[in-house]
Amino acid sequence: MQNKGLVKFLAIALTLVCLFYLSFSFVTRYQMNKAKQDPQGEQHYLDSMQNKKVYPVLGYTLKKCREMEIGLGLDLKGGMNVILEVSVPDVVKALADHKADPTFNQAVANASKQSVASQDDFITLFVREYKRLAPNAKLAELFATQQLKDKVNTRSTDAEVEKVLREEVKSAVDNSFNVLRTRIDRFGVVQPNIQNLEGSMGRIMVELPGIKEPERVRKLLQGSANLEFWETYYPSEVYPYLTALDSRLHDALANGSAVDTTAIVAKDSAAIADATKAAESTVTTSTDSLANVLKGKTAESAQDKAALEQMKKEHPLTAILQLNNQQGGAIAGYADYRDTTVINQYLNSKEAQAILPKDLKLKWGVSAADWDKSERIFELYGIKVTERNGRAPLEGDVITDAHDAYDQHSRPSVSMTMNNDGARRWAQLTKNNINRSIAIVLDGYVYSAPNVMNEINGGSSEITGNFTIETTKDLANVLKSGKMPAPARIVQEDIVGPSLGQESINQGIVSFIVALILLMIYMCSMYGLIPGMVANGALILNFFFTLGILTSFQAALTMSGIAGMVLSLGMAVDANVLIYERTKEEMKAGKGVKAALAAGYSNAFSAIFDSNFTSIITGIILFNFGTGPIRGFATTLIIGILCSFFTAVFVTRIVYEHFLNKDKWINLTFTTNVSRNLMQNTHYKFMAIWKRTYSFFGVLILISVVSFFVRGLSQSIDFTGGRNFVVQFEKQVEPETVRGLLSQNDSIQATGSNVQAIALGTDHKTIRISTNYRINEDSPTIDSEIEHFLYNALASGNLLDQNTSYEKFIDRDNREGGSIISSQKVGPSIAEDIKTSAIWSVVLALIAIGLYILIRFRDISFSIGATIALCVDTLLIIGAYSLCYGWAPFSLEIDQTFIGAILTAIGYSINDKVVVFDRIRENFHLYPKRDHFTLFNDSLNQTLARTINTSISTLIVLLCIFILGGESIRSFSFAMILGVIIGTCSSLFIAAPTAFLVMGKRRPKETKTKEDKTASAKA
C-alpha cells in the first residue's frame, strides 16, 4: 500500500483533534455535576463560575467550555427552533415612503398573496403586478424618495430601481439578522444557532436549546421594537364617541347590515350627544358584568346567558366594553380578554370610521391591568394623533441606551436615555402635556401611560407597568438592540420539552449500542473473529471520528443525527463486506492471504468509492433542500460516510499489513462454519425471469398508483401548513375522542378548519393533534390563544386532571395531569416552499445519480438501468405509505423526514447497483467474447453474497432504530427498511435486466477499444 505514512499521520492528527474537542464535554459534565450539588441552586453555581477558568491546562473558562462542548439539538436537549420571515412587503412600503397610491398598494397586496404559492420572490412579483396595473408608470415615480435619494432618481429605469430594491431588501434582512443576534446573545442562551436561510428572501432560522418559556421568546423575536411616545385623550373626551358608536352599531345590526360594510355617514354632534344620553343606562349593566368577571363569576345559568345576549343586542359595544368617563388618565375602557377580538372588529368597522375622530387611535395595554388579580381585564387607551403624517411625535430612534431598573415603588421598570435631539423633543412634549398622560407604545401596545407632572429635561424616561424582572430585561434588550427594519413573524416553529429530550437521548443511545453489538456479532459470525474484530474496530473508530468532527464544527447532535450516525455504521460495514467477499474470491483463485487481501482492497475500491460518492450526493442535496432535523441528519451522514471510507479502506489495510508483514494472521480464511457455503457458487437464473419480475413489479406499481388516486397520502403540516401538538395524558385516551371534542367546537366549524388526532405508541397516552385552525393569522398572541383554545377544549371533555392549570398544561417539562410535551408550527407559505423543495430534491437526486453513473461507466445503459430502478424504489416506498397509513401502529405522514428517508434510500439503493454494474464492467474486460445474457447473469450471481450481506447488515441497524429509536424516528426507519428491501430486489430484477435490454447486442465503449488494441497488436 502506498502513502502509508500519510494515512498514519492523518489518523493520528484526526485522533488528537477529536480528543481535543471532545474533552470539553467531559469538563462541562464535571462542572454540571458540581452545579447540581450547590446548595444555592444550579444556576447560582453556573453564574458564579461562568468566567472562571475550569480547564486549567488550556486556560478555558466555563462559558467557553460550554460553547465548545458537543451541542445537543432540540429533540435531545429540549428548546425552541423557529424560522422567522422578515416582511418584505413592509420593507418595500417603507422604501416608497408609505405612499397612498392605490395602484402601488394594490400591487403590493397582490404580490403578497401570490408569494404564498409562487416560486418567484416578492420583488419579482411586485414589479410584475405594478407593470400590469400601471403599464405606463415608472417605478422611479414611487421610489425616488429622500431615503433612496443617492440611488434612485426620476430618470432611473425600472431595471435599475428593481436592482436597488433587491439590495435594500437584502440590507434590511441583514440588519434584522444582526438585531436578532444581538437580542439572543443578551438573552443568555448557551449555544444558540442563528442563520440566514440560503435561497429564501427574508427567512432567518433561530435555534435556542434549553428554552422553557416559548411565549417570552416569541415576543423577543417578533417584536420590531417600534417605540413611540404619544399624546393622549382624557377618557371623558373619548366617552361620547364610544357611546355614539354603540348606538350606531345597534342600528346597523338591527337592520341586518354587516357591521363592516355599512355606508359611512357624516358625523353629527347632536346625534353623538343623544347617543351618549341613551347609553348612560347601559353603563351600570356593563360595569356589573365586568365586575362579576373580576370576582371570578360567570353567567352560567340559562337566564343569565339569555340576559347577556339580549344586552349585547341592545348595546353591542358597551355590553362588553366598560367605558371610563373620568377627567384624568388615558384609559378609555376595560374589557375581558375574550371580548377584545370582537371589540377590535367594532372599532375598525365603517361605523367607527364615521363616528370616531380622525385624530383618535384606540390601543390596548400590553398586559392585564395590574390591579386585576385574575389577569383577564385589559385596558383600552385613547391615543391622540398630533402630527400631519400620522406618526408619533417622538419615536424610539432617539434611544441611545436602555436597562432594567426599579421605580420609586421598587417595582421592575425600564430606564431609557435619549440623544440630544430626543432630549429636546421629549422636554417639549412633556412641557405641552403637564397634567396629562403620555402613552409609551411598543409595537402597537401600550406599556404604560404615566401622568406628566412637569417638564422633563435631560432625555431620561422610564417605562413602568405590570412587569416581571424577566419582562423588563427582555424589553430593555429589545430597545437597546435596536429597531427591526421590518416586522418579522414566525412561519415555522418547533418546541420540544427537555424531559422528552432526555427520553430521546436514552432511546438513541440504546439503539446505537444494540446496533453496534449486533453488527459486531454479525461480522464475527460471517468472517471470523479476527477479520470481524478488525472491521468492528473500524466501526468504533468511525464513530469516534464522526463525533469529534461534529463537535469541531459546532454542529448540534440531534436524534436524526444519531440515526445518521447509526446508519453510517451500517454503510461502513458495507465496505468491509465488499473487501472481504472480494478477498475470498481471490483466495479461491489460488492466492495467499497477503496477495488476496491486496487484490481484495484494490478491486473493491472502485465499487466502494462509487457507492459512497453517490450517497454523499444525496446527502448534499438533503442538506441544501432540508431544514432543521434533515440538515442534522445529512451533516452526520456525510461526515460518517467520509470517516467510514477512511477507516474501512485505509486504516484497516494498514492493520492487516502490519500483522501480515510479521507473518501473523497468515491463516485467515475470512469464513466461518456459518458462511463457508452460504451463497457460494450460485447459479440462479436472474436474467431468464426478467419478464416475470417486470410483471410483478408492474403490478406493485399499478397498485401504488391506484392507491395514490383512491387513498392519497397522509400529508403532514410540513406540506399543508398548520400546528402539531403532542399531548401526554395521565390516562388512556382514544384519538377519536380528542378529534371529536375539537371538531365539534363552534370556532373550528365556523372556519372550516381540519383537526386530526393520532396515537403515538400503543398505550394511547400520547396523542398528536394536528390542525390548520387560524394558521393564517400572524398576531403576536395567536400561538398563546391556540394553546388556550386547546386547553379549554380538552379540559371541558374531562381529559385533563382537575388540578391541571393552563400553566401546567403548556409547561413542556410537566408530566402530571396532562400537558403539551412538544409542538410544531408551519405557516402556509413555508409549507408550499417545503413541498416544492421536496419534489425538486428527489428529482435532482435521481438526475445527479444518473449522470454520475453515466460518467463513471461511460455507457448510457447502466445510467438508464440505475435511474429506472431508483424510480421504481421511490414509487413503491411512497405506495407503501399510501396503502398503510391509517391502520399501521405508527405515523406514516409524508413530511420532511420522509423525504430525507426517500433520498437516503435512493443513495443506499444505488450502492447495490454500483457493485453489480462494477462487476459487469469488469467481466466485459475479462471475457469480451462472452454473450451479454450469460455475462449479466454470472455477474449477478458473483455479487449475490455481497448484495445480501450488505443489505442484512444495514437492516440490522435499521431494525434497531425502528424498534428502539423512539416514535420521532420510526417513520424514517420504516421508509429506510422498505428502501433496503425494495432496493436490493430492484438491483437484481430491474436495474441489471434494464441495462441489458438497453445495451442490446452492442458492447461497452471501453471493451471495444480494448479489443481493437488487441487485434492491432496481433496484426
The alpha-helical segments, DSSP class H, found in 69-150 are: 74-77, 88-95, 102-114, 122-133, 140-143
Average pLDDT, the chain: 81
Please state, in angstroms and rounded to a whole number, the distance separating the CA atoms of residues 573 and 532.
10
Please state, in angstroms and rounded to a whole number, the distance separating the CA atoms of residues 582 and 586.
6
Q: Strands of 274-345 (E only): list them.
A: 322-323, 331-336
Residue 300 has pLDDT above 70, yes or no: no
First vs last Cα of the chain: how many Å apart?
38
For the segment 845-857, what is each residue's pLDDT rounded down to a tens digit?
A: 888 888 888 888 8
Sheet containing strand 460-463, edge to edge, reads 399-406, 412-418, 460-463
Tell me if 503 sits within 8 A of 969, measured CB to CB: no
Q: Which of residues 166 and 1000 earns the better pLDDT score?
A: 166
Predicted local distance difference test score (pLDDT) of residue 567: 67
Residues composing the chain: 1019
Predicted local distance difference test score (pLDDT) of residue 169: 86
Please state, in angstroms and rounded to a whole number, the distance separating the CA atoms of residues 346 and 532.
77
| Strand-strand pairing, 556-557 and 445-448 | unpaired
- For the entire predicted model, the pTM comes to 0.65
Predicted local distance difference test score (pLDDT) of residue 691: 92
Share of residues in the chain with pLDDT > 90 (%): 17
Predicted local distance difference test score (pLDDT) of residue 500: 56
Tell me if 597 sits within 8 A of 580, measured CB to CB: no
Q: Strands of 750-878 (E only): list them.
A: 755-759, 766-771, 819-826
Predicted local distance difference test score (pLDDT) of residue 129: 92
Tell me if 92 sits within 8 A of 169, measured CB to CB: yes
Tell me if 640 sits within 8 A of 546, measured CB to CB: yes
| Strand-strand pairing, 722-728 and 766-771 | antiparallel
Q: How far is CA 623 from CA 17, 67, 439, 626, 638, in A?
A: 25, 24, 48, 5, 9
Share of residues in the chain with pLDDT > 70 (%): 85
Query: CA 834, 839, 845, 851 torsion: positive or negative?
Result: negative
For residue 720, name the pLDDT band (cuts at 50, 70, 90).
confident
What mean pLDDT do residues 667-691 have? 85
Tell me if 31 sits within 8 A of 62, measured CB to CB: yes
Instruction: Choose from 472-476, 896-900, 930-934 the range with maximum mean pLDDT.
Output: 930-934
Report the amino acid identity of residue 384: K
For residue 573, name the pLDDT band (cuts at 50, 70, 90).
confident
Please name which of 978, 794, 769, 772 lies closest in space to residue 888, comparing C-alpha atoms. Answer: 978
Backbone angles phi, psi at 676, to 5 degrees: -55, -45
Q: How far is CA 731 from CA 498, 799, 817, in A?
A: 22, 8, 9
Residue bearing cell 435486466: 993
Cell (9 digits) for 66: 460550554
Cell (9 digits) for 908: 443506499
For residue 410, name the pLDDT band (cuts at 50, 70, 90).
confident
Query: How big is the chain by its Cα radius of gyration, in Å?
Result: 35
Predicted local distance difference test score (pLDDT) of residue 1019: 32
Residue 705 has pLDDT above 80, yes or no: yes
Please name which of 576, 574, 564, 575 lies closest in space to residue 512, comparing C-alpha atoms. Answer: 564
248, containing H or E segment: helix 235-254
What mean pLDDT do residues 75-99 have? 82
For residue 497, name the pLDDT band (cuts at 50, 70, 90).
low
For the segment 871-886, what is each residue's pLDDT rounded down to a tens digit?
A: 999 999 999 999 988 7
Predicted local distance difference test score (pLDDT) of residue 2: 67
Residues forming a β-bridge with 377: 336
Please state, in angstroms and rounded to a whole number, the distance separating the CA atoms of residues 629 and 697.
33
Tell me if 698 sits within 8 A of 990, measured CB to CB: no
Q: Which of residues 824 and 270 earns the better pLDDT score?
A: 824
Which distant-in-sequence residues (6+ apart) come within 8 Å of 826 by Cβ? 491, 492, 493, 717, 718, 721, 722, 723, 834
What mean pLDDT do residues 544-570 have? 77
Q: Which of residues 686 and 489 earns the better pLDDT score?
A: 686
DSSP string, 495-522: EE-HHHHHHHHHHHHHHHHHHHHHHHHH
Cell (9 digits) for 944: 449475490
Residue 274 has pLDDT above 70, yes or no: no
Tell me if 770 sits within 8 A of 716, measured CB to CB: yes
